[in-house]
Amino acid sequence: MTQPSHSPDAAPPPSPSTSPSPTPFSSPFSARATAAEVIEGVDLGGRRAVVTGGASGLGAETVRALATAGAEVTIATRRPGSAEPLIGELSAVPGAGRVLAEPLDLSDLASVHAFARAWRGPLDILVANAGIMALPERTLAPNGWEMQLATNHLGHFALALGLHGALREAGAARLVVVSSGAHQGEPFDFDDPHFERRPYDPWAAYGQSKTADILLATGAARRWATDGITANALNPGYILTGLQRHVDDATMRAFGVLDPAGNVTPPPYYKTPEQGAATAVLLAASPLLNGITGRYVEDNQENPSALAPHAASPEAADRLWSYAAAAARGA
């Protein structure tokens, strides 16, 4: 039976205030499980996925897992040529799904709209993975958005909105949004989201964008459930990837990942990229998540105490949805 549908940026249906809180999600996988372990035994044959920033880091490990399980995966990246080694690697894996790369610059609304317009057919999985962190100076996207908010949130929002029809067509699609524990200290500043008046701070900008990512999943979960779309956010944990390329050595030493001689020495609580991608893969592909939506998951478990109240607010999610929808239209 066809599911009822509505405008992708319409207000959500009312939720009874007396509804009990859902039981926190749990899985049999530990914080050290790898993406390969999480995907083992899952058949994604016939499914189609888009992974933003899928040419390197956590994105590449997510692509590996989904493709080896049989999914057709599109790597959405600013430089499609950078995905060629991964595409070549996976083309030699027996049973792997087709992997291709398409251009997408999340900070450029025209690029986002072009990607969404070019998509044809259903989309089963959208992993909003691409991101930048701690730009040392306030940098603006072509349309004036602060660059971290543009790349990490507003571009992904516009992409999800543009692909809503394809997600709905799939019938049981999943939106997976990669956030961060950095959200905990930074509510979304609706009065000055682009640091036009307040002093720019690299970590405040990053944390705000990651709060916005969780609110994106909350907003989509509230609006798109009747379309068969689930939406969840995650914290992948501490991992060394290209995300740290803008972080100076002094900060890296403060994090404990550089010794006095400049050697990379990640502490024991850091994960490998294969482990860091596990939670995204769990949310994107595991049958354990069938029908589960609107959650924030880290270390392959849902821990409500890890979610800051400002990122759990339905009112903030609705307000940000309205703001981001106007931004996605170029208003």
User: What is the Rg, in whole angstroms, of the alpha carbon atoms belonging to the chain?
Assistant: 19
Is 200 labeled as catalytic in the residue annotation?
A: no
* Residue 97 CB partners (closer than 8 Å, separation 6+): 44, 45, 47, 66, 67, 69, 70, 71, 72, 73
**Residue whose entry in the numeric block shows the structure tokens 């950095």:** 182
Active-site residue (options: 200, 206, 269, 323): 206
Residue 178 pairs with which residues in a beta bridge? Answer: 234
109-118: which pairs have CB atoms within 8 A and are 24 or more residues apart?
A: 109/142, 109/143, 109/155, 109/158, 109/328, 109/330, 110/142, 112/155, 112/158, 112/159, 112/162, 112/328, 113/158, 113/162, 115/76, 115/159, 115/162, 116/158, 116/159, 116/161, 116/162, 116/163, 117/162
Catalytic residues: 206
